[in-house]
A and B are shown apart, each in its own frame.
Chain A
Amino acid sequence: MRNARIFWFSISLVVGLAAGIVYGWVIRPLSYSDVSPEQLRTDYRVDYVLMTAEVFRQEGDPARAAQQLAFLGNEPVIRYVQEAIITGNEMGYSRADLELLGDLAAALQTWMPLQVENTP
């Protein structure tokens, strides 16, 4: 009798656990808000890099561009630009936009070593 009670208690515990997980993941997951920029869909991330490149073309300030790109996450900022060039190319971005991205990548590549040298 006691073993039977333990068995059915375990079954009810597992059923409750499964129901809780289904409820928390499927029926009412945490709200779809306050996601981090790292979780943005690829095209939005690429477009953000393109915006940075557009601003960079006007301002010519790689430090500010790097600061703006840091919004996307903790990766080295040059990586975001390189990914944007590859993805933008696959998505059929215009030559002008790809050139903007290329200019930004080139500027960041020459700018970043200077920052490293300046670091004690």
Chain B
Amino acid sequence: MNQSRGPWYLFTGLVLGLAIGLVYAWLLEPIQYVDASPRALSPSDQAAYRNMIALAYQANEDFGRASARLAVLGDQEPALTLRRQAELLLASGGTSQEAQALVDLSVVLQNMPATLTAQAALAAVSTPLPTHTAAEGTISSPVDITQTPAVTTPQATFTPRPTANNTGDQEVPYVLLEQETLCDEENAGRIVVEVSDQRGQPQGGVPITVNWANNGSNTFFTGLHPQISPGYADFEMQPGEIYSLRVGKIGEVVTDLQIQTCDSGEPGGWRLAFGVR
């Protein structure tokens, strides 16, 4: 009878050992990573890291440095990722200052020539900060990274476009240039805002504040829908609510905005065009 069992006990031992080994390697003592890159962080930690990059950019306006820092996160579309994060931040009750920083950096990234952002990213990849020491004579630092694009690119005279610094845009006295009712199905119940600068060019990263009854308020930014226009933003109105809207900090306030009833009987929205005179 024993002879008929054959070598199955060996197979049992092997499978049992394998199972114990996997439990040990995956659950009890999983491999610990050290010297990780920011792209290995959890999504929430990556968001915090990205947020810090945007705030630092807002502080120093050093695009090369910000671009190099973003490159280590490995985002496929960094500008889009920044915009989405700004939207999520606002939706979750985050501060408008942080959202503004994210939008500012997103707008600048969009306006940069692809070669420049690629070179900045390449600089970050090819000159990793940590692994060199002064003694080796191959010192690298964030300064090296930020200066590399300026040295190597023929577009050395790169200057951030005016949209890059949006802290000043908030102080611009935007005025209402056009106001019209929208009766297309796509914009039913929506306030569509278009902001342009002194030259009439669409302006991204401009904060728009909407207020309604009982201290309701929301701030959002132009530039979150670049596929439409860098100066575009929109807001969904609720039935029965009356809104006022201001562009920037000292722009003209538009009041009595509510869902319109079009000739067809369908709900309509508003299109508001702001600019600088």
Contact = CB atoms under 8 A, between A and B. Distances in A.
A71 interface: yes
Contacts of B130: 41-44, 46, 91
Contact of B13 (A13, A41, A48, A58): A13
Contacts of B25: 20-21, 23-25, 29
Contacts of B18: 16-17, 19-20, 23
Nearest to B28: A24
Given A30-B30, A35-B36, A18 B21 contact: yes
A19 B21 CA distance: 7
A91 B24 contact: no
Given A16-B13, A20-B17, A24-B21, A41 B36 contact: yes
Interface in A79-111: 88, 90-94, 96-97
B40 A33 contact: yes
B59 A57 contact: yes
A17 B37 CA distance: 32
A50 interface: yes
Given A19-B18, A47-B129, A58-B59, A91 B141 contact: yes
A29 to B, nearest CB: 4
Interface residues of B, number: 55
A36 B41 CA distance: 6
Nearest to A20: B21
A42 to B, nearest CB: 5
A43 B53 CA distance: 15
A46 B129 contact: yes
B59 A93 contact: no
B68 to A, nearest CB: 9
B102 to A, nearest CB: 13
Given A37-B45, A51-B52, A16 B36 contact: no
Interface in A37-83: 37, 39-44, 46-48, 50-52, 54-55, 57-59, 68, 71
Interface string B30-72: 1111111110111001001100110110111000000001001
Contact of B55 (A1, A14, A51): A51
B48 A71 contact: yes
B16 A13 contact: yes
A41 B37 contact: yes
Contacts of B177: none
B35 A41 contact: yes
24 contacts: A12-B9, A12-B13, A16-B13, A16-B19, A18-B21, A19-B21, A24-B22, A25-B31, A29-B30, A33-B40, A34-B41, A34-B42, A35-B42, A39-B32, A40-B35, A41-B34, A44-B72, A55-B52, A55-B56, A55-B58, A71-B52, A91-B132, A93-B143, A97-B142
Minimum-distance CB pairs A-B, first 5: A20-B21, A16-B17, A24-B25, A43-B130, A92-B139
Given A37-B49, A44-B37, 8 more contacts: A5-B9, A17-B17, A29-B31, A39-B34, A41-B37, A68-B52, A96-B143, A97-B143
Interface of B: 2, 9-26, 30-38, 40-42, 45, 48-49, 52-53, 55-56, 58-60, 69, 72, 128-134, 139-143
